[in-house]
Amino acid sequence: MPQFDYDLITIGAGSGGVRASRLAGGYGARSAVVEADRVGGTCVLRGCIPKKLLVYGVHYAAQFEDAANYGWTVESATHNWAALIRNKNTELDRLHGIYLTILKNNKVALHEGRGVLVDPHTVEVNGKRITGANILIAVGGWPSLPKVPGIEHAITSNEALELPKRPQRIAIVGGGYIAVEFAGIFEGLGSEVTLIVRSSLLRGFDADISAALATEFGKRHVAIKSGVEISSIAKQGEALTLTFSNGDKMTVDCVLYATGRHANTKNLGLEAAGVKTKENGAIMVDEWQRTSVPHIYAVGDVTDKLQLTPVAIAEGRAVSETLFNNNPIKADRENVPTAVFSTPPISTVGLTEVEARAKYGKLDVYESRFKPLIHTLSGRDERTYMKIVVESKTDKVVGCHMMGADSPEIIQGLAIALKCGATKAQFDATVGIHPSAAEEFVTMRTKRAEPEAKAAE
Ligand code: NDP
């Protein structure tokens, strides 16, 4: 008789957990996954996928406008928010079904209910105890809300994806991924959007990219209120009155907080199992995703590293390859590309200029700002911004940044180049695709003046 019910029990059936448990099952391990909600996790059910479907839906508004100068007459286009939400949910149901099939096909036992660790090898689900030789914690994260009087009137991205009606006036708190993505969604459909940013827009991204987005937001009537925080929220009838730290007031129909996400580790039984967490509740792991208990692993947002779906998937894969396929691998976090599906979108790989300067000292920086060809005819006042950061000494490209249409599709390819250690000379030796925006990345020839050279002018 085996000592444990399973070789691997995964708590949380999101992107990282499903990848680990289904690979484990596929390699012949006795694999189980425990899930309190529907299988799919944040990305599929209340993150990347539904958000991107809404972003696609919104793009039509601008395309209808832009079509006029291309000879089209698009009359009385109206938008039905409820239909978009309904159809998006139908697609999520389909994806949920695919995930269930994947688990079934890989012989992964699904235990529905909240999983709680009762000791280092035992998980309790709905009063039933199951044991595992290894345990993987992949319970993800949840939106964090600051303690502000009236915060109960605020929504998070979870509710924003399910709103029965689109709010006409919406305040969005935060300047990160989620805030700027929802700003684009609501503004694109005609809502009056105010972004409330306590420090800077997209802090941590290259400063030129953040500035380029702020300029485009200005053209699109997304108001940015920066350097302030909300000190209280009061509800009067259907409206919400926001009072700011500087005494200003504002009335809106909805306030959405996108102020970061915290690890879902409360009441998970981590203490009973001896799993250590950081001060913010995130689980501490080593480079093999091992927690302070060697046979308990953690992947994805619960570890508070890079909160990105493909990273969680890479981590989940690494755990199962290592444990069940005699193929010890670690998730590689070098040059992870990322995208913000704002309007226009942003995508980036490698280091920002500031990070590269701190690491390498002297840099060659190339940049390009232009009106995309499509808008020479459409008349839309939207510009694309691109930047390449190169280490002077080696000529190695260490960062590529773009704001503009299709930037996620373009940067994904450049991420391979950076992974291969491409030099600027190799970028230059690559023939462009004409006419495209992407070709700018292989045709930038003029170095931007270095800061000290600029100062001497
Ligand atoms: P982020 O960490 O990206 O941004 C949080 C924002 O909220 C920052 O601007 C921060 O300001 C601000 N903030 C934090 N606390 C407060 C507060 N008390 N009052 C006012 N503002 C505050 O978090 P998000 O919630 O946008 O997203 C969470 C994570 O999810 C992201 O980091 C990303 O990894 C992932 N994600 C990825 C997406 C993608 O790949 N496209 C899409 C959506 C999410 P400050 O800068 O001053 O700290």
Domain boundaries, position 440:
338-447
Q: What are 212-253's pLDDT values in tens digits? A: 999 999 999 899 999 999 999 999 999 999 999 999 999 999
Q: Does 310 map to a domain?
A: yes
341 C-alpha to ligand 1 centroid (Å)? 14
Q: What is the pLDDT of residue 453?
A: 63
Q: What is the pLDDT of residue 233?
A: 98
Q: Does 114 map to a domain?
A: yes
Q: What's the helix, strand, coil split of the chain in %, to 5?
A: 35, 25, 35
Q: Does 1 map to a domain?
A: no
- How far is it, in rounded angstroms, from Cα 192 to Cα 298? 41
Determine contact, residues 264/139, Cβ cutoff 8 Å. Answer: yes
Which strand ranges, in their side-by-side order, compose the sheet holding 239-244? 230-236, 239-244, 249-252
Task: Give the mean model confidence (pLDDT) for residues 42-47.
Answer: 97
346 lines ligand 1 (CB under 6 A): no
Give me the residues paired with residue 396 across strands.
Answer: 423
Are residue 28 and residue 104 in the same domain, yes or no?
yes
Are residue 128 and residue 158 in the same domain, yes or no?
no
Give me the residues paired with residue 170 across strands.
Answer: 193, 254
pLDDT tier for residue 456 given thresholds of 50, 70 and 90: low
198 lines ligand 1 (CB under 6 A): yes
258 C-alpha to ligand 1 centroid (Å)? 6
Q: What are 381-409's pLDDT values in tens digits? A: 999 999 999 999 999 999 999 999 999 99
- How far is it, in rounded angstroms, from Cα 201 to Cα 210? 6
Q: Does 329 map to a domain?
A: no
Are residue 107 and residue 74 in the same domain, yes or no?
yes
347 lines ligand 1 (CB under 6 A): no
For a pLDDT cut of 90, what percent of the chain falls above it?
A: 96
Q: What are 133-163's pLDDT values in tens digits? A: 999 999 999 999 999 999 999 999 999 999 9
293 C-alpha to ligand 1 centroid (Å)? 30
Q: Does 345 map to a domain?
A: yes
174 lines ligand 1 (CB under 6 A): yes
Task: Give the mean model confidence (pLDDT) for residues 171-184.
Answer: 98
- How far is it, in rounded angstroms, from Cα 277 to Cα 265? 9
- The radius of gyration computed from the CA coordinates of the chain, to the nearest angstrom, equals 24
Q: Which atom of ligand 1 is nearest to the CA of 199?
A: 47
Are residue 292 and residue 278 in the same domain, yes or no?
yes
Which residues participate in catalysis according to the annotation? 434
Are residue 279 and residue 194 in the same domain, yes or no?
no
- How far is it, in rounded angstroms, from Cα 93 to Cα 448? 49
Residue with tokens 């890079």: 306
Determine contact, residues 128/94, Cβ cutoff 8 Å. Answer: no
257 C-alpha to ligand 1 centroid (Å)? 9
Ligand 1 probe mutation, 145, 159, 177, 213, most atoms within 8 A of CB: 177
CATH number of the domain that residue 74 is part of: 3.50.50.60
| Residue 419 CA: distances (Å) to CA of 125, 403, 412 | 42, 21, 11
Determine contact, residues 96/226, Cβ cutoff 8 Å. Answer: no
Q: Which of 260, 255, 230 is nearest to 245 (CA)?
A: 230
Report the predicted TM-score, pTM, of the whole model to 2 decimal places.
0.96
| H and E: helices and strands count for the chain | 14, 21
Are residue 201 and residue 254 in the same domain, yes or no?
yes
The answer on pLDDT for 1 being more than 80 is: no
Q: What are 61-106's pLDDT values in tens digits? A: 999 999 999 999 998 899 999 999 999 999 999 999 999 999 999 9
Q: What is the pLDDT of residue 454?
A: 60
Are residue 352 and residue 389 in the same domain, yes or no?
yes
Are residue 136 and residue 271 in the same domain, yes or no?
yes
Domain boundary among 280, 296, 324: 324
Domain count, the chain: 3
Protein residue with its CA nearest to atom 38 in ligand 1: 177
196 C-alpha to ligand 1 centroid (Å)? 12
Q: Does 452 map to a domain?
A: no
Reading the block at residue 11, the tokens are 């708590």
pLDDT tier for residue 455 given thresholds of 50, 70 and 90: low
CB atoms within 10 A of CB 442: 18
> Which residues are CB-neighbours of 154 under 8 A, at least 6 positions away?
145, 148, 173, 233, 255, 256, 257
Q: What is the pLDDT of residue 336?
A: 98
pLDDT tier for residue 457 given thresholds of 50, 70 and 90: low
Residue with tokens 């940044």: 401
Q: Does 441 map to a domain?
A: yes
- How far is it, in rounded angstroms, from Cα 209 to Cα 352? 10
Query: What DSSP state is assigned to residue 301?
Result: G
13 lines ligand 1 (CB under 6 A): no
Residue with tokens 């190339």: 366
One-letter-per-residue 3-state SS of 206-258: CHHHHHHHHHHHHHCCEEEEECCCEEEEEEECCEEEEEECCCCEEEECEEEEC
Q: Which of 181, 205, 202, 150 is nearest to 345 (CA)?
A: 181
Q: What is the pLDDT of residue 221?
A: 83
Task: Give the mean model confidence (pLDDT) for residues 182-211.
Answer: 97
Q: What is the pLDDT of residue 451?
A: 75
pLDDT tier for residue 2 given thresholds of 50, 70 and 90: confident
229 lines ligand 1 (CB under 6 A): yes
CATH number of the domain that residue 412 is part of: 3.30.390.30
Are residue 291 and residue 251 in the same domain, yes or no?
no
Longest dimension (CA), the chain: 80
Amino acid at 112: E
Q: Which of 308, 352, 360, 363 is nearest to 331 (CA)?
A: 308
Ligand 1 probe mutation, 142, 230, 256, 259, most atoms within 8 A of CB: 259
Task: Give the mean model confidence (pLDDT) for residues 281-286.
Answer: 98
The per-residue pLDDT of the chain, averaged, comes to 96
Q: Which atom of ligand 1 is nearest to the CA of 146?
A: 18
Are residue 198 and residue 57 in the same domain, yes or no?
no
Ligand 1 probe mutation, 53, 178, 264, most atoms within 8 A of CB: 178
Amino acid at 316: G
455 C-alpha to ligand 1 centroid (Å)? 34
Q: Does 330 map to a domain?
A: no
Are residue 95 and residue 63 in the same domain, yes or no?
yes
pLDDT tier for residue 304 given thresholds of 50, 70 and 90: confident
Q: What is the pLDDT of residue 209?
A: 98
Q: Which of 377, 371, 335 is nearest to 356 (CA)?
A: 335
Are residue 67 and residue 138 in the same domain, yes or no?
yes
- How far is it, in rounded angstroms, from Cα 274 to Cα 281? 14
